[in-house]
Structure 1
Amino acid sequence: MMVEQKQLKLDDYISLDEREHFLSELHRFLVWVGEPLPDEVEVNGETIKLHELIWRCIHKAELSGQEKERLMELVRLLETKEKHDEEVLQRANLTHEEAKRLYHESAALIRAIMDLRECEAGKVKLKESGEGVRQKIDDAKRWLVFLKGVGKKFS
């Protein structure tokens, strides 16, 4: 069985201007806004369920000193990983797809770092009780039923 390799052309790689654009975008003030949190991230050969960790942190009433310390260690590890991705973006010969993937991975890591720092500082907490959240979900469901009914009348 013969494996067909795709022949890449010079145009398939990012230009110096595109590289600079990606790097400058990563340094924008709110680059992480709108980036989804990674579900998992591999750090030092260990897979960390990052999204789940941040979710638990938000729902926890208070973090112990040891938990805060572990969060800040994870922040340092993620910062190292993000800097490595940025260096690859700065120096490597990358295709457009590879550069986009690295850019979004770096932005998502920046978001995770910001969320973890806010969590450690106690700035992000779920403000409503379980009952308050359930009430909002019920309200949203009623609105959806209402809007579907209105939509059928005008169809």
Structure 2
Amino acid sequence: MQEFQRKQLLERIEREGATVGADIPDEIEVQGESIDLSTFVFEIKRRDTVPKGERERVEQAKKNLRRERIQRKQRIEEDDITFEEGEAIARAIIGIDRALNALENLGPTDLEQEAELQAAQDKKRWTKFLKKALGHEDDSSGIGTGRGR
């Protein structure tokens, strides 16, 4: 895979709204274990509330899915794979993200925590926008430090 293709795939999996219209994979291997992911998410989501015993299972599933996402992203970043293999991995990552979104939106939410999370995400998007607008995309030292170059 060429470097520009690798960057395209990485950008695609990190894109805001990448999961819109994406399907949750029917079956996926997570941490060496095959999981019927779409059925699991559907069964959990169809309940009004998640029972306490199920909450622990859901939290463990989310943790495993996040770990699997990181490992698959690293394969795109570091492994010597074909573009087709990379695309398949990217589709799987987007499916994992879709499942995580569905599982994150379960049950009652802590409104204060949700507001803090939203504010943090807004700040991150705003900072990224400013860096890009000011031409400091690759500048890890902060906004405005590039003056006088």
* Equivalence map 1:98-137=2 (5 Å): 98-121=85-108
Moved over 4 A (4+): none
Choose which of 17, 26, 31 in structure 2 pairs with 1:39.
Answer: 26
Verify: 1:27 aligned to 2:27, yes or no.
no
Deviation at 1:58, TM superposition (A): 2.2
CA–CA separation in structure 1 for the residues paired with 2:58 and 2:84: 32
- Tell me what 2:146 maps to: none
Alignment of 1:57-96 (within 5 A): 57-96=44-83
Q: Deviations over 1:62-114 (max 9, x none)?
A: 21122112101100100100110000000111112101101101111111111
- Separation of aligned partners in 2, 1:118 and 1:92: 33
Shift of 1:120: 4.8
* Whole-Å separation in 2 of the counterparts to 1:121 and 1:76: 19
Q: TM-score, normalised by structure 2?
A: 0.67
Q: Specify every segment of 5 or more residues in structure 1 that has no aligned partner in the other structure, as ranges.
A: 1-13, 123-155
Please tell me the root mean square deviation across aligned C-alpha atoms, in Å. Answer: 1.6
Computing the radius of gyration from Cα coordinates, the structure with the larger value is: 1
Question: C-alpha distance in 2, partners of 1:88/1:121?
Answer: 35
Once the two structures are TM-superposed, the CA of residue 44 in structure 1 deviates from its matched residue by 3.3
Q: Which residues of structure 2 form unaligned runs of 5+?
A: 110-149
The alignment covers a number of residue pairs equal to 109
Cα drift, residue 42 of structure 1 = 2.1
The aligned residue for residue 40 of structure 2 is: 53
For residues 107 and 63 of structure 1, what CA distance do their matches in structure 2 show?
A: 25
